[in-house]
Structure 1
Amino acid sequence: MRLKAVVLYQILAVTAWTTSSSSSSQQKLAAPSPPEPEPIDVFELPLPPVTQNETERGCTRKINPHGTGCIGATTSNLNGGNFLPDGDHVTASLVFTGAPAAPDPASNYQGLHLIIVRVNGTNFPNGDPWKCITCGVPASQQYGLTSTMDYGYPQAFTDGTRILAGSYIIDCGSAQLASAECTPDKVHIYPIRWNTTPAGNGSGGSIRELRKHPDDVHISFNSIAYVGGTMAQYAYFSRLEFNPAPTTGTPLTPRYDLVNVTVLYNSNAQPIFSTNGSHLTIDRQSITVGEARGLSGLGDQVDYLGFPAESCNIDIFGVSLKTGEVVRVTRDPEYVDPIDTSPDGKWVVIMDTTTSHRMMFLAGMRGIPPLVDSLVTGAVSSIRNNGLRRFFQPWLVDRHGAREDKNGSYYMGQQINAVGNEEPGSINDPSWNGGADPRWSLDGTKITYYQMLVTAPDCGGSNPLPCPISTEPGHRHVRLMVANLTSRRPLAVRPIEPVSDTVPWGQKYVPGSSLPDPPSFPFGNFTLAGLVSGYADVSFISDSAGVSLKTVVARYHNYSDDGDNFIAGTEQVTTTYPNLTMIHVDWFSDLHSTGTSRSSKVTSPGGFHFDIDIQKNKFYANGTLITTVDGVTYRQPENGT
């Protein structure tokens, strides 16, 4: 009997990785020596002024003499975006508040809007360093907007006239967005619609996490589904096609339709785990993309989150749109999610939890194969946050990833905002954490990212972390940053030719068709041979109904996939699901590693038991799980943090 994989909201599908049978030492020799640290100048961009009074007319002319809007200290909901093609402007979305009522012209500066911010220290003609693109757009040119509209992840097209924001495209016609010619009367806001019915009727499918391809023609996106009583997500690739006068589906307004949609799922792939009698094998080139995180700088691959290459290690992987070849983009034991690739494909900027060591109690012991991860990937990934508090800091990593140099030093990349003494408000203040997504300028010399200050209830009160006082203007809790890579020569900005609509290894989406079946795993007792030495006895145990995977047991005997770490001991995990988003985990571990590192991963005598809601990211545990690496001990976060 085979069981269907549990496909959870955060990782959402079993995916793939590449780890050849060669040892990590051989891989290390194949990569060049890590780069030396480079000079980076980090500075903050200006934002609209803050009003403490968020009621009508709370944004007074004393606070903003130009009458161009205010934001709240904790309610601006800033989302940083990318650079306009000139490299002198950054896109962002935020919520204005405190505006007067119409017909005052300042009434336009209320609610969610899209802005651009100057990077070069100059101002727009009205004296502001920022310009609102959507404020004052006539209602007749705001097509299909809803009360739940979202301008997240704003991404400028390379023509400088359009921005993809949430599931909308903001278009200024022939005018450059940053020019004086781009006025509200020229701006149109078009919805994006994905048809999911054979007749083309209805409002279309729900789409999220849209990322623009550098060819300005295609996007990747994700969509939530319900499979086997749990939340699931599938990733897609599609062409954008402007439809000026649709005759089916809603809204019946000018819009962009998603056409030639491909599910990023290889139905012909072998399962991740397969068996031959009692022998268990792992297919390290199986393609099953989980959550798509965007398209690479050269536009040749989809970057995505997926099933770990090493146990509890949440990394980014990439799969070629043409060939289906899979690469492991990041290799750090901490959690990685937001990512952007440089326009020449040689560098990535990531948001990573490394400086917090938050995930090391789970992932610090290296070389463990991802067996228990068949059950815990969604739960493990959810520990990365404390509610709305993130632990991300921006890192610059070359395309060869984390590795040792010839002298044995370990390269993890360069923390972009590492300069400073971590005093309140400094660029490396640990209370300021990064959001998604960091973005490169088209000439490869600048990176933009945004940060949020930890705010109650994720600090203060019963939470042992005290709430810091913001040092920002108006004590706002958001800031928009730019990192200038001062030693780099600008890359030539070249257009990316449109790629094919066809993804050969993907599954063409037919409106109304069923979603692909989730990957399956075997029930029973098996032996997994290490790629270099040893073996593991593995048991995949079903629930009482014989339908779902409930328990994984692994017993390691001098097991090694890399020739550097040799694992011995036992690990057992059981999961249950009280509701669609809550996971309960019972974990027992007594693992030890020798070799280049002496490590252990051990639970308390009664085991380690925790609950986490994958939508709320609040962690509560009984018992302990402690990982020790070369004498350094890593413990779990305190409950509620």
Structure 2
Amino acid sequence: MGWNSFTSGGQNTFYGRLQFNESPKSGTLRVPRYDLVDVNLLMKPNGTAPIMVEGSELKLHDQAITIGELRGFSGAGDEILYLGTTREANNIDLFAVHIITGVVRRLTSHPEYADPISFSHDNQWFVTMDTRGSNRQMWMSGLRHIPPLIDIVATTAAASTRNNGARRFFQPILIDRYGDRGDYFGQRVNYEGDGTDGSVNDDNWNGKADPAFSPDGTRIVYWQSLVVSPACGGDNLLPCPHSTAQGGRTYRVMLARLPNRNSTAPAPVLNAPDIIPWATPFPLEATVPTPYSLPAGNFTLQGEASGFAMVGLIKDSALGTFKTVNVNYSNFSDDGMHFINGYESVTVTIPVSNPWLNHLDWYSDIVQTGEEKGTKKTGPGGFHLTINAMENLFEANGTLTTIVNGVTYDQPLNGA
């Protein structure tokens, strides 16, 4: 089994087995119990970090194993699924790492936010709960191919704006096992419908966590909740919808049938090892090793195809974490098709007493040319966002607007 440890000091992920202990000789509960044994910390000792410094240059490492939040296993049990370090600015995605080889695959790349995920038993498909289609995140992440430099300080905010309090903007998205690529971004499972109150594609019914496939791969089950106060009604500009469900329920379980698919057999399941070769053994009383830490300073990130970015990293003397990231792009391109010019600067202020509360002062004037044309710009005076990662209530002054190929994406309204 895999699990997460979530504390004010950060998050770590683990892998291990449950073993029945009929007559415990140690511990506080000397009764028959299950013990966790052969525990692995899912961190490579002295491993490569996503962003590292070599001399005066920054280097990005896409094969770095950085499991932010463990989300389960592939259908064959050979890969661990997780939310990982961003590959593009403000774009939070799902990844898979092979249990034996440590090879990392990026499963989602759509600019919207993906989180819960489940693989089919035949290992050929996965369904994820995703905000794509809602435009919830496009104002900050819609302009792609920008390296994730500001995410050094902006990731918590990017992960928090996907919700409005208890309201999520998730819908189930079906994607083949290879993941998003090119112009393929899967399909919305509940797209078919007339959009009326209570219909299968009523956007006021939002997906919750953990969808699942039937064993034969022909059905998908997921659950939803209806937006309720204070995410609507009262001072909120959005009126609260009336539930059309029996008894006025605001939760429902949905079963999506895939009628054009034949039943499939489950994939052979990997005989998983007790010890993962790339992980860190974590016996009783072990401590989490200190991961690689970027130094403060001024650095250059070279584009793989052209140009460069000048990057300034400033630390918070009180917290020891990074406070400000300044980036100036000059014809930066990793693929030779998308070219970035301009600047972006983000400063985060985090109270010592509350590590979940982030205040961001954001200034952006980015222009993209090439295969896609777009801008990511703040208004006069910048964009200033305050958000608590445990509450997800959007409160901002100023504007941050992204335009992609002539389509404008504005930030959410405060409280909405």
Q: TM-score, normalised by structure 1?
A: 0.63
Q: SS state of the match for residue 167, structure 2?
A: coil
Give the match for residue 591 of structure 1: 366
- Report how many aligned residue pairs link the two structures: 414
Amino acid at match of 1:386: N
Give the match for residue 164 of structure 2. 386
Deviations 1:138-166 (A, max 9, x none): xxxxxxxxxxxxxxxxxxxxxxxxxxxxx
| Change in 2 beyond 3 A, CA 1:492/1:271 | closer
How far did 1:559 drift? 0.5
Per-residue CA deviation, residues 396-415 of structure 1 (Å, 9 max, x unaligned), is 111232234xxxxx321111
Say if 1:293 and 1:338, in contact at 8 Å, map to a contact too: yes
Matches of residues 166-185 of structure 1 in structure 2 within 5 Å?
Answer: none
Once the 2 structures are TM-superposed, how far is the Cα of residue 306 of structure 1 from its aligned partner? Answer: 1.6
Whole-Å Cα distance in 1 between the matches of residues 399 and 247 of structure 2?
42
Between the aligned partners of 1:451 and 1:242, the Cα distance in structure 2 is 36
Q: Matches of 1:496 and 1:302 in 2, distance apart?
A: 13
What is the aligned partner in structure 1 of residue 140 from structure 2? 362
Distance 2:137 2:80 in 1: 25
Matched, 1:634 2:416: no
User: 1:413 is matched with which residue: 152, 168, 186?
Assistant: 186
> Are 2:311 and 1:538 aligned?
yes
- Structure 2 match to 1:450: 223
Alignment equivalent of 2:199, drawn from 426, 444, 450 = 426
1:373 paired with 2:151, answer: yes
Please say which structure displays the higher CA radius of gyration: 1
User: Is the counterpart of residue 623 in structure 1 residue 398 in structure 2?
Assistant: yes
**Higher deviation after alignment, 279-288 or 553-562:** 279-288
Instruction: State how 1:94-173 maps to structure 2 within 5 Å.
Output: none
**Aligned equivalent of 1:524, options 293, 297, 300:** 297
Aligned to 1:223: 5
Question: SS at 1:312's partner residue?
Answer: coil
Asked whether the 8 Å contact 1:271–1:521 carries over to 2, the reply is: no
On the 8 A contact 2:76/2:267 being kept in 1, the answer is no
Determine the structure 1 residue equivalent to 2:75: 297
Separation in structure 2 between the aligned mates of residue 254 and residue 485 of structure 1, nearest angstrom: 44
Given the alignment of the two structures, is residue 396 of structure 1 paired with residue 169 of structure 2, yes or no? Answer: no
Preserved contact between residue 333 and residue 363 of structure 1 (Cα < 8 Å) = yes
1:522: Cα distance to partner? 2.1
The offset of 1:494, in angstroms, is 6.1
Whether the aligned pair in 2 keeps the contact of 1:273 and 1:522 (CA below 8 Å) is no
Q: Which runs of 5+ in 1 are unaligned?
A: 1-218, 405-409
How far off its partner does 1:545 sit?
Answer: 5.5
TM-superposition CA deviations, 1:308-353 (whole Å, max 9, x none): 1111001001111101111101111000001011122221101110
Query: Which deviations, in whole Å up to 9, do the C-alpha atoms of 1:76-113 show, x marking residues without a partner?
Result: xxxxxxxxxxxxxxxxxxxxxxxxxxxxxxxxxxxxxx
Deviations 1:217-261 (A, max 9, x none): xx110012343xxxx110001112122343433544433221111
1:294 offset after TM fit, Å? 0.7
Residue matched to 1:499? 272
Instruction: Give the corresponding residue for 1:474.
Output: 247
Match for 1:310 among 88, 94, 101?
88
Pick closer, same or farther for the CA change 1:494–1:596 going to 2, 3 Å: closer
2:62 to 284, 295, 307: 284
Deviation at 1:456, TM superposition (A): 1.1
TM-score by length of 2: 0.96
Opposite residue 618 of structure 1, the aligned amino acid is L
- Which whole-Å CA distance do the structure 2 matches of 1:258 and 1:266 have between them? 20
When structure 1 is superposed on structure 2, of 518-527 and 545-554 the one drifting more is 545-554
Task: Give the secondary structure class of the aligned counterpart of 2:402.
Answer: strand
| SS class of match (2:127) | strand
Q: 2 CA distance for matches of 1:245 and 1:486?
A: 51
Paired residues of 1:432 and 1:452 also in contact (CA < 8 A): yes
1:473 partner amino acid: Q
Match of 1:547 in 2: 320
- Aligned residue identity for 2:92: I
Residue 497 of structure 1 and its aligned partner are, at CA, apart by 5.1
Answer whether contact 1:241 1:258 (CA < 8 A) is retained: yes
Q: 1-side partners of 2:213 and 2:30: how far apart?
A: 36
Q: Which residue of 1 aligns with 2:13?
A: 235
1:601 aligns with 2:396: no
Structure 2 Cα separation of the partners of residues 307 and 493 of structure 1: 31
- 1:420 maps to amino acid: G
- Counterpart residue identity of residue 5, structure 2: S
Secondary structure of the residue aligned to 1:361 is helix
Q: Indicate conservation of the 8 Å contact 2:89/2:150, yes or no.
A: yes
- Go from structure 1 to structure 2 and tell me whether the alpha carbon gap of 1:301 and 1:493 turns closer, same or farther (over 3 Å shift): closer
Identify the residue that residue 319 of structure 1 maps to in structure 2: 97
Alpha-carbon deviation of 1:440? 1.1
Q: Higher mean Cα deviation, 434-443 or 490-499? A: 490-499
1:433 shift after superposition = 0.6
Q: CA deviation at 1:492?
A: 2.0
Q: Which amino acid aligns with 2:6?
A: I
CA displacement at 1:495 relative to structure 2? 6.2
For residue 405 of structure 2, what is the amino acid of its counterpart? Answer: D
Aligned amino acid, residue 324 of structure 2? T
Separation (CA, whole Å) in 2 of partners of 1:616 and 1:564? 39
Structure 2: distance between partners of 1:369 and 1:494: 36
Secondary structure (helix, strand or coil) at the match of 1:380 reads helix
2:266, 2:307 → 1: CA distance? 51
Q: Does the 8 A contact of 2:123 with 2:267 survive in 1?
A: no
Residue of structure 2 equivalent to 1:436: 209
Aligned to 2:121: 343
